[in-house]
Amino acid sequence: MFGAARKLREAGVLGLNERNADYIARLNPRRLYPLVDDKVLTKKLALEAGMAVPDLYGVIAHQGEVRRFPEIVREQESFVIKPARGSGGDGIIVVTGRSKRKRDTFRMSSGVFVSEGEILHHISNTVSGQYSLSGSRDAALIEYCVHFDPIFADVSYQGVPDIRVIVYRGYPVMAMVRLPTRASDGKANLHQGAVGAGVDMGSGTTLTGVLDDDVVDEHPDTGALIAGLEIPKWDFILESSARGYEVTGLGYLGVDMVIDKNRGPLILEMNARPGLNIQIANGIGLSHRIKRIETSYDATATPAERAAFARLEFGTHARQLELLRKPGIHT
């Protein structure tokens, strides 16, 4: 048991306790949480910082406003409804179109049709706080439904795949692509059954994936190879996520982005408590990279410089060196 712990320690694997005590408690002051816990606020801040976000169609913050829903989406064929304070992708519904005969019947990303009444009930639940972190009152966001870039079409089962970048004190550390599966019901959330694929920080190319803590090479539903996909505009993605530090002030941050067919990478949300599965997806621990950032930390570096640092230090070449240092590996 202690041997296993030592091996993990040598591999630089970050554990939940260490993440909570040493990083989140130290680098993420409580007062900054509302900036990322409230998606309406995050969106506003990201827009002010000049980052690209999905358009906001409307916000429903009170039960009385729930009936405004048809009016908000009158012009829209597709949209997404999210709780403003939700966590882990809970309570998100993606409407991809409307029934041809009845405009008040909506097609979900899963292909199922639901009535307007059901959606109103969902919004009402959301507003009363069913999906919020603390169970307190919440608001429902209705926003642009991302038409995702075909690059991930073969490795996603419905839903929208997204890119998660961990940013440590402004420096991107590690990234992964989260691919929805049938089991995850179109949601890009690893503990709901989505596949996570590691990303080479240098080139933005995908590595092998992880499903429920196990390494996988193929998507469980489509059977397509996960590795080797090149994420477009990788530079922009890294720089945007690095900018997330300026926007939120959080030293240990998870930035979630999607790639839209027309509008390119968009910031979906940011997370003050990003999960640790990204380590499994990348086959490498976070700790060594974080130490590297600590040693060459430069408070004056711009987001672009920090993104460049990450590409150089954590890219393919550096990654091979990292793997070499891991015990039991011979190339």
Partner 1 sequence: MKHRYVYVLAAMLTVVGLSVFFYKWQVLGFPISENQETPVWTIESSVKFDSGPGSIKVQLHVPTLTPGFRMLNENSVSRGYGFTLNYGSGGREAQWAIRRADGEQTIYYRISVYEDDSVDQSDTTPPFPPMPVINEPLKTAVDVLVSDVREHSADTATFTTELLRRINDPSPDPNVELLMSGADTNADFVGVVTMVLAAARIPARMVRGFPLAGRQRSADLVAWLEVHDGDRWLYFNPTTGEERLPERFLVWWRGNERLVNLEGGSNVEVRFAIQKNYLDSVAIAETQAAQRDASAIDFSLYSLPIQTQAVYSVLLMIPIGALIMVLMRNFVGIDAFGTFMPVLIALAFRETQLLWGVILFTLLVTLGLSIRFLLDRLRLLLVPRLSAVLIVVVILMLFISLTSHRLGMETGLSVALFPMVIIAMTIERMSVVWEERGAADAIRAGAGSIVVAVVAYIFMGMAWLEHLIFTFPELLLVVLAMVILAGRYTGYRLSELKRFRALSTN
> Is residue 215 near partner 1 by the rule CB under 8 A?
yes
Binding residue for partner 1, selected from 108, 119, 163, 284, defined by CB under 8 A: 284
Query: Interface with partner 1 by CB under 8 A: which range of 93-101, 119-127, 227-235, 302-310?
Result: 119-127
Q: Pick the binder of partner 1 from 104, 213, 230, 298 (CB under 8 A).
A: 213
Instruction: Compute the Cα dihedral for 163, 168, 172, 176 and give only its sign.
Output: negative
Q: Compute the distance between CA of residue 181 and CA of residue 192 in angstroms, rounded to an integer.
A: 9
267 or 286: CB nearest partner 1: 286
Binding flag, residue 280, partner 1 (CB under 8 A): yes
167 near partner 1 (CB under 8 A):
no
Work out the angle at residue 93's Cα, subtended by the Cα atoms of residues 209 and 157, and round it to the nearest 5 degrees. Answer: 30
Q: Which of 148, 183, 185 is nearest to 265 (CA)?
A: 148
Stretch that binds partner 1, among 37-45, 116-124, 235-243, 244-252 (CB under 8 A): 116-124
Residue 1: DSSP 8-state: -
191 interacts with partner 1 by CB under 8 A: yes
Which residues, numbered 63-92, are part of the site for partner 1 (CB under 8 A)? Answer: 63, 90-91
Cα angle 254, 258, 261; round to 5: 165
User: Residues 64, 79: contact at Cβ < 8 Å?
Assistant: no
Of 105, 110, 125, 205, the one binding partner 1 (CB under 8 A) is 125
Rounded Cα distance between 43 and 24, Å, is: 22
130 interacts with partner 1 by CB under 8 A? yes
Examine residue 119 and tell whether it contacts partner 1 (CB under 8 A).
no
Binds partner 1 by CB under 8 A, chosen from 58, 97, 193, 232: 193
Give the residue with the Cβ less far from partner 1, 65 or 118.
Answer: 118
- What CA–CA distance (Å, rounded) separates 93 from 79? 9
Give whichever of 18 and 154 is closer to partner 1, judged by the CB atom: 18
Task: Determine which residue in the list 78, 105, 110, 128 makes contact with partner 1, applying CB under 8 A.
Answer: 128
For partner 1, give the closer residue by CB, 145 or 190.
190
Specify the residue, 110 or 130, whose C-beta has the smaller distance to partner 1: 130
Q: Please, what is the Cα angle at 327 between 325 and 331, to 5 degrees?
A: 65
Nearer to partner 1, 249 or 283 (CB): 283
CB 140 within 8 A of CB 212: no
Question: Residue 51: which of 294, 216, 255, 218 has the closest Cα?
Answer: 255
Which lies closer to partner 1 via its Cβ, residue 54 or residue 83?
Answer: 83
In angstroms, rounded to a whole number, what is the distance separating the alpha carbons of residues 227 and 155?
Answer: 10
Q: Which two tokens stand for residue 298?
A: 């430069």
Q: Which is nearer to partner 1, 29 or 117 (CB)?
A: 117
Q: Contact at 8 Å (CB) between 179 and 219?
A: yes
Taking CB under 8 A as the binding criterion, the range among 13-21, 251-259, 263-271, 311-319 that sits at the site for partner 1 is 13-21
User: In the bound complex, what is the minimum distance in angstroms from residue 202's beta carbon to partner 1?
Assistant: 20
Distances (CA, A) of 138 to 53, 64, 261: 21, 13, 31
Where do the DSSP E strands lie in 144-251? 162-168, 171-179, 195-199, 206-211, 214-216
Contacts with partner 1, residue ranges (CB under 8 A):
1, 4-5, 7-11, 13, 15-18, 21-22, 63, 90-91, 117-118, 121, 124-125, 128-130, 183, 191-193, 210, 213-215, 276, 279-280, 283-285, 328-329
